[in-house]
Amino acid sequence: MPMDAVDVVIVGSGAGGAPMALELGKAGFKVVVLEKGPWYKQDEFVHDEILNSRRNFFMPLPWDEPHLWRAGPDKPFSRTNEAWTANCVGGGTVHMSGFFYRLKPIDFRLKSELGAIKGANIADWPISYDELEPFYERAEEELGVSGNAVPHPFLEPRKKNYPLPPLAEHPVSLEIDKVCKSLGFHSIPTARAIATTPYKGRGTCVYCTLCGSYGCETGAKGSTLAALIPQAVATGNVEVRPRCMAVEVTVDEKSGNAKSVVYLDPEGVRQEQPAKVIVVSATAVESARLLLNSQSKRFPKGLANNNGLVGKNLLFSSFGQSKATFRVSKQKGTHPWLEAVAPFVNRSLQDFYVMPDERFGFRKGGTLGFMWAHPNPIFAAVGMARKGEPGIFGKALKDKLREYRDSRILEFEIYGEFLPTDDTTVAVDSNVKDKYGLPVAAITIKRHPLDLVMTRFLVERGEEVLAAMKPDRLDRVGTAGETAILQGGTCRFGKDELTSVLNKDCRAHQVKNLYVVDGSFMPTSGAVPITLTIVANSFRVAKGLVERMKKGGT
């Protein structure tokens, strides 16, 4: 039996869903947030690698809730938990590292500025950087971003600096600055969604080194769990329902409007929550899956999918990485900074964000972020054991671990433009179902060749920096990867209903009271982690929705 209707149901409580809940609740509207994962409390965030990184504390197990993954439409699928972000209140923001960058003005008009690219479905955004800038500022203030915006060739327009001062940095940051200057590069501080002073009732960073893959035990990390959800609930208008798995968004067959969200409650009982407005924000992969599974006579191919574009143009972030190993016992005399224990490097390069011409085979590049290697010991040991054709074990592995304990490993990661293609998509496979009995997401990846040209070029530039620091060893991890936790594109927004799923307000062209506010809306990926952009856009969309609802619309 359906429950009493509320004003808005939001599916997902992460970077997209939480800002909507906060703004709607503050405006006096009754909101229900459905979150498939648990509502963790701060004291549950402990430094246990097995719990956090090798079990299902954040990610589901692939035999319970698989994604299907294949590298090209002619390849077979395999079961994986790739492209899951997190199942918990706060979503992926709970275990993120919190590297926060804004997009640049050119990212909003990539096709107009750089021209069409054969084999890539790039499109200009229907909004400009200037339209989103006030909401970037709002997102940085609400989440508590620390940093220092220094001048550099690709600094985006800003009205003010970050709200909090930068984190204390490891002295290697100054070495990176010196080396980059000698190479003609511009080393810049990396902003972080981590509070450096007491902020809005949250604790400060204790420099534990475990940001990525872990929840924050002090609330310093600017997750939506710590920064936005408590504010939303405090309005008295927002109810968060954890462990509630959305199954379907229903529609009124006569009007074509979204009517309710059907979900399985914590006991597995099927429930139905009606609402005037439905907001979907379950990640680009899972939002597409929910819409594609929401089939009806009105939308036989899935909700808002009569043009066949839901699940198309999937975006991740292009990824590359190299590591420099410094043996402390050998180099501490010439590299005294090796003995410092501060965890944060917080340095980036954006000199190659856009190339001035085609001489290197591409125009749109990306960002390099420098950091110390993650200290997870089991992850490190497994990686060493797998090295070489037969792998290593016994004394050989112990010797490698002793060497590892005497090393500091400085690395960089590439966040590069990921060009949308016809064959990089999300579909659903009715032959494979999860533990809830629902068809799972089937992900096909076929990379555009320019992605790989660009990523290799950026990796080579990063290696120039590492090599100039004279490490004992420099290892290239790869140049052809993707960061599937950064995802978008499956419900891209645009002006034309024939080429997009959503309008500029992130409202579905075909369903006038349905919104999608995770990364699905993005026509292009940009060349930075996109979490901040998702939060900022959600604040933008929420402002418009509140204004319309106050006038009786949606």
CA dist 31 and 164 (Å) reads 31
pLDDT digits (tens, 9 = 90+) for 382-405: 988 887 777 888 898 998 899 999
pLDDT digits (tens, 9 = 90+) for 164-214: 999 999 999 999 999 999 999 999 999 999 999 999 999 999 999 999 999
User: Quick one: three-class SS letters along 297-313?
Assistant: CCCCCCCCCCCCCCCCC
User: Which residue type, as a one-letter code, is found at position 84?
Assistant: W
Residue 1's pLDDT band, with cuts at 50, 70 and 90, is low
Given a cut of 70, is residue 263 above it in pLDDT? yes
Cα angle value 92/97/424 (rounded, 5°): 55
- The residues, ordered by sequence, that sit 6+ positions from 358 with a Cβ below 8 Å of its Cβ are none
pLDDT digits (tens, 9 = 90+) for 473-520: 999 999 999 999 999 999 999 999 999 999 999 999 999 999 999 999
Q: What percent of the chain has pLDDT over 70?
A: 100
Given a cut of 90, is residue 231 above it in pLDDT? yes
pLDDT at 384: 87
Spell out where 266-397 has E strands: 270-280, 315-327, 347-349, 366-372
Quick one: which H or E segment has residue 6? strand 6-11
Closest CA to 418 of 281, 268, 313: 313
Q: What six digits make up the tokens of 518?
A: 């995770």
pLDDT at 390: 79
Q: From residue 57, how far is each of 40, 52, 243, 289 by CA, in Å?
A: 10, 5, 13, 22
CA dist 17 and 125 (Å) reads 21
Q: From residue 60, how far is each of 84, 266, 475 by CA, in Å?
A: 8, 16, 32
Q: From residue 472, how far is each of 327, 328, 399, 459, 478 by CA, in Å?
A: 7, 10, 17, 19, 19
Instruction: Answer whether 426's CB lies under 8 Å from 520's CB.
Output: no
Mean pLDDT within 443-457: 98
pLDDT at 165: 98
pLDDT at 386: 83
CA dist 39 and 10 (Å) reads 16
Number of Cβ atoms within 10 Å of the Cβ of 478: 13
Closest CA to 441 of 81, 55, 76: 81
pLDDT digits (tens, 9 = 90+) for 351-364: 999 999 999 999 99
For 550, phi then psi, to 5°, come to -65, -20
* pTM tops 0.95, yes or no: yes
Mean pLDDT within 219-241: 98
Taking all residues of the chain, what is their mean pLDDT, rounded to a whole number? Answer: 97
Closest CA to 190 of 169, 218, 220, 213: 169
Number of Cβ atoms within 10 Å of the Cβ of 107: 25
Domains of the chain in sequence order: 6-62+70-550 (3.50.50.60)
Q: From residue 358, how far is each of 103, 320, 363 by CA, in Å?
A: 22, 21, 6
CA dist 228 and 19 (Å) reads 7
pLDDT at 215: 98
Instruction: Answer whether 52's CB lies under 8 Å from 36's CB.
Output: no
Mean pLDDT within 238-252: 98
- Bridge-based pairing of strands 315-327 and 473-488 is antiparallel
Radius of gyration of the chain (CA): 23
Burial class (CB in 10 A: 0-12, 13-18, 19+), 551: exposed
Burial class (CB in 10 A: 0-12, 13-18, 19+), 236: exposed
Mean pLDDT within 456-483: 97
Instruction: Answer whether 346's CB lies under 8 Å from 100's CB.
Output: no
Q: From residue 516, how far is each of 9, 196, 489 by CA, in Å?
A: 12, 33, 11
pLDDT digits (tens, 9 = 90+) for 537-550: 999 999 999 999 99
